[in-house]
Chain A
Amino acid sequence: MTLLDVRDLAVRYDTPHGVSQALDGASLTVAAGELVAVVGESGSGKSTLGMAALGLLPASAQRLTGDLLVDGESVFGLDPPRLRRLRRTRLGLVLQDAAGSLDPTRRVGRQLAEHLDRPGRADVLSRLEQVRLPDVERVARSYPHQLSGGMAQRVAIAIALARSPGLLVADEPTAALDTEIKHDVLRLLADSCRERGTALLVLTHDLTGIAAYCTRLVVMYGGRVVETGPPDDVLERPRHPYTRGLLHAVPGQETVGGTLRSIAGSPPVLTGPSAGCAFAPRCEFRVDRCDARRPEPSADAARVLCHRDGELDAVVTLDEVPEVSR
């Protein structure tokens, strides 16, 4: 059953400093209970997509085209009371800065109790135990600043999952955490969502780090989804040139004395719909039609957004291409 359905959504921010096109025709569906990681760099539009799913876009955001449906209803068509109801009952959010998303002046046990149907002490403690916190009595009595970043994030997860939402959006939930804690928190997120049948939408820039915890990877670039698929397929057989480049650029898989192959240039800042493929200026496989026409997603499940999808493997594999000059 489709829980989240994003249809060719384009969103633009109109600010006094200028216009920026955050989403440029993004399409994505998430089924109930699916664990999806949306991977993209800054400016790829992943946060805008996540916030749109929660109906949390700021007033400066303008929907140009497309729609976003949760449970078959457009979040853009809901009046404020019904939107609040949808968020309360069906949606959850975990932010990067957990300590910042908690109220610094109140004990975390009380903050958690607010979100429970039966806000008793026993229930609060068992919820804290569920997110694998040690010494739950002490944690419940603590203020947010008395908790480490990892513990605060676990409390935030307990709060977000308190009402077993249909969809949990986690925006860079581990970017501020140490490597070891990071993987504990991701595992907790994935396990908790699986137990409750909650769909998870993790927004992250860490392509390889998230792969072990999700059932599907979604790669975004320039406000569009450029490739999607099971983690193993995307990591082992990436099809979009951007995904390939990204995988080659991550330190850790080079050989001794080898060189990382970086992607030349930097991510685009779109001020309007892109005329062609947004990745074309950085792409080593670019041909004329890449600049002229917007690519359409491939017909199969991977929905690869590349004019040359299918041709590339026949032409060349990335390993044989010499380093692009910096």
Chain B
Amino acid sequence: MTTPVPTAELRGVDLDYGSGPPWARRHQRAVSAVSLTIAPGETVGLVGQSGSGKTSVGRLLLGLARPTAGSVLFEGRPLGEDRRRHRGRLQAVLQNPAWSLDPRLRCGTSVAEPLTVAGALPADERRRRVAHMLKQVGLDPGVADRFPHQLSGGQQQRVAIARALVSHPSLVVFDEAVSALDVSVQAQILNLIRRLQDEVGFAALFISHDLAAARYVSHRVAVMWRSEIVEVADAAALYHHADHPYTRSLFGLEPGAAGRR
């Protein structure tokens, strides 16, 4: 899956976080010399331990963090020059749907918000798009009139996904989007992500500590270890072997994932 212009690209990116007072500033390297491309319509999985820098890579791609060195490109152009241009084009789905849904807004309002912010759409067209999107994530359009607390965790995550996709983004970052869900519901959401990508065709970064889940939804999987990407492999290849010892250890220590094939 190669195209001349990748949807998102990291070129030799470093990211440092500073802490402490100005006279005793300490820097912690969160991302080190990371290069990664995501082609249109491709899902790249990003797995690693907590603290390995996965979420920082997601923040860089979304333009929420500026790289210390290297460059972040979005659709071939440096991200951050004119970020208003990207409104609605970059979206995120987070671990806990409560973080992206305002408890005081009806779900329909929350889902419509990316469209409202982008402007230029009449209200009835917005409502139509919201209803269509809710149907696409497998919810009854009547959910638009409910509040988040009236829905189950899985339904809330579906609403959060609808909110992320309603503005037809070209890149969606899923940051541990299924980790907080019950096992039986997790599979529903993983299947939903796969199906929506086939239907809608966005590029995605799927951040997870669960290699098996990442492998399932992704075309390629990148493995992060101590702020570096140590291996990038086709998801299909990961069903047979993995090269880096750390990748193997992610599997080897998971009797549920690899032992029971």
Q: Are A179 and B216 in contact (CB under 8 A)?
A: no
User: Which of A53-61, A151-159, A249-257 forms contacts with chain B?
Assistant: A249-257
Q: Which one of A245, A252, A256, A326 lies within 8 Å of B260 (CB-CB)?
A: A252
Q: Which one of B50, B152, B258 lies within 8 Å of A252 (CB-CB)?
A: B258
Q: Which one of B50, B187, B239, B249 lies within 8 Å of A256 (CB-CB)?
A: B239
In chain A between 240 and 260, which residues have their CB closer than 8 angstroms to a CB of chain B?
A: 245-246, 248-257, 259-260
In chain B between 158 and 211, which residues have their CB closer than 8 angstroms to a CB of chain A?
A: 182-188, 190-192, 194-195, 209-211
Write out the residue numbers on chain B whose beta carbons fall within 8 Å of the beta carbon of A253: 260-261
Closest chain A residue to B149 by CB distance?
Answer: A17
Most buried by A among B183, B188, B213, B216: B183
- How many whole Å from A165's CB to the nearest CB in chain B? 27
Q: Is A2 part of the binding interface, using a Cβ–Cβ cutoff of 8 Å? A: no
Q: Is B153 part of the binding interface, using a Cβ–Cβ cutoff of 8 Å? A: yes
Q: Is B255 part of the binding interface, using a Cβ–Cβ cutoff of 8 Å? A: yes
Q: A180-B249, A259-B191, A326-B138 in contact; A42/B182 too (CB < 8 A)?
A: yes
- How many whole Å from A58's CB to the nearest CB in chain B? 21
In chain A between 243 and 283, which residues have their CB closer than 8 angstroms to a CB of chain B?
A: 245-246, 248-257, 259-264, 266-267, 269, 282
Q: Are B212 and A266 in contact (CB under 8 A)?
A: no
Q: Which one of A179, A206, A207, A255 lies within 8 Å of B250 (CB-CB)?
A: A179
Q: Are A211 and B256 in contact (CB under 8 A)?
A: yes
Q: Is A183 part of the binding interface, using a Cβ–Cβ cutoff of 8 Å? A: yes
Q: Is A311 part of the binding interface, using a Cβ–Cβ cutoff of 8 Å? A: no
Q: Are A205 and B182 in contact (CB under 8 A)?
A: yes
Bound-complex Cα distance A212 to B256 (A): 9
Tell me the dominant secondary structure on chain A's binding face.
Answer: loop
Q: A205-B182, A211-B255, A252-B257 in contact; A266/B50 too (CB < 8 A)?
A: no
Bound-complex Cα distance A254 to B235 (A): 12
Closest chain B residue to A258 by CB distance?
Answer: B216
Q: Is A41 part of the binding interface, using a Cβ–Cβ cutoff of 8 Å? A: yes
Q: Is A135 part of the binding interface, using a Cβ–Cβ cutoff of 8 Å? A: no
Q: Is B243 part of the binding interface, using a Cβ–Cβ cutoff of 8 Å? A: no
Write out the residue numbers on chain A whose beta carbons fall within 8 Å of the beta carbon of B152: 266-267, 269
Most buried by A among B138, B239, B249: B239
Q: Are B191 and A254 in contact (CB under 8 A)?
A: no
Q: Which one of B188, B209, B261 lies within 8 Å of A179 (CB-CB)?
A: B209
Closest chain A residue to B52 by CB distance?
Answer: A178
Q: Which one of B50, B183, B192, B209 lies within 8 Å of A41 (CB-CB)?
A: B183
Q: Are A262 and B191 in contact (CB under 8 A)?
A: yes
Q: Is A32 part of the binding interface, using a Cβ–Cβ cutoff of 8 Å? A: no
Query: What number of A residues sit within 8 Å (CB to CB) of B?
Result: 37
Closest chain A residue to B50 by CB distance?
Answer: A178
- How many whole Å from A187's CB to the nearest CB in chain B? 10
Q: Are B184 and A263 in contact (CB under 8 A)?
A: yes
Q: Are A208 and B260 in contact (CB under 8 A)?
A: yes
Q: A180-B49, A180-B249, A249-B183 in contact; A326/B188 too (CB < 8 A)?
A: yes
Write out the residue numbers on chain A whose beta carbons fall within 8 Å of the beta carbon of B213: 251
Binary interface encoding of chain A residues 159-184 relative to chain B, with 1 for a CB under 8 A from any of its CBs, else 0 = 00000000000000000001110010
- How many whole Å from A64's CB to the nearest CB in chain B? 25
Write out the residue numbers on chain B whose beta carbons fall within 8 Å of the beta carbon of A248: 187
Q: A262-B184, A266-B155 in contact; A251/B255 too (CB < 8 A)?
A: no
Q: Are A251 and B215 in contact (CB under 8 A)?
A: yes
Q: Is A209 part of the binding interface, using a Cβ–Cβ cutoff of 8 Å? A: yes
Q: Is B254 part of the binding interface, using a Cβ–Cβ cutoff of 8 Å? A: yes
Q: A208-B260, A235-B260, A262-B191 in contact; A252/B182 too (CB < 8 A)?
A: no
Write out the residue numbers on chain B whose beta carbons fall within 8 Å of the beta carbon of A266: 152-155, 182, 184-185
Write out the residue numbers on chain A whose beta carbons fall within 8 Å of the beta carbon of B191: 259-260, 262, 326
Write out the residue numbers on chain B whose beta carbons fall within 8 Å of the beta carbon of A255: 239
Bound-complex Cα distance A235 to B183 (A): 15
Write out the residue numbers on chain B whose beta carbons fall within 8 Å of the beta carbon of A269: 152
- How many whole Å from B189's CB to the nearest CB in chain A? 8
Q: Which one of A179, A207, A257 lies within 8 Å of B236 (CB-CB)?
A: A257
Bound-complex Cα distance A235 to B210 (A): 20
Q: Are A251 and B209 in contact (CB under 8 A)?
A: no
Q: Is B253 part of the binding interface, using a Cβ–Cβ cutoff of 8 Å? A: yes
- How many whole Å from B206's CB to the nearest CB in chain A? 12
Closest chain A residue to B47 by CB distance?
Answer: A179
Q: Are A251 and B258 in contact (CB under 8 A)?
A: no
Given A259-B191, A266-B152, 5 extra CB contacts under 8 A: A180-B249, A206-B183, A209-B256, A251-B213, A266-B155
Of the A-B pairs whose beta carbons lie under 8 Å apart in the complex, a sample of 24, sorted by A's number, is A42-B182, A179-B49, A180-B49, A180-B253, A183-B253, A206-B256, A207-B183, A211-B255, A212-B255, A246-B184, A249-B187, A250-B183, A251-B213, A251-B257, A252-B254, A252-B256, A252-B260, A261-B187, A262-B185, A266-B184, A267-B152, A267-B184, A282-B184, A326-B188
Binding site for A on B (CB under 8 A): 49-50, 138, 152-155, 182-188, 190-192, 194-195, 209-213, 215-216, 236, 239, 249-250, 253-261
* CB-CB nearest 3 A-B residue pairs: A208-B256, A252-B212, A262-B187
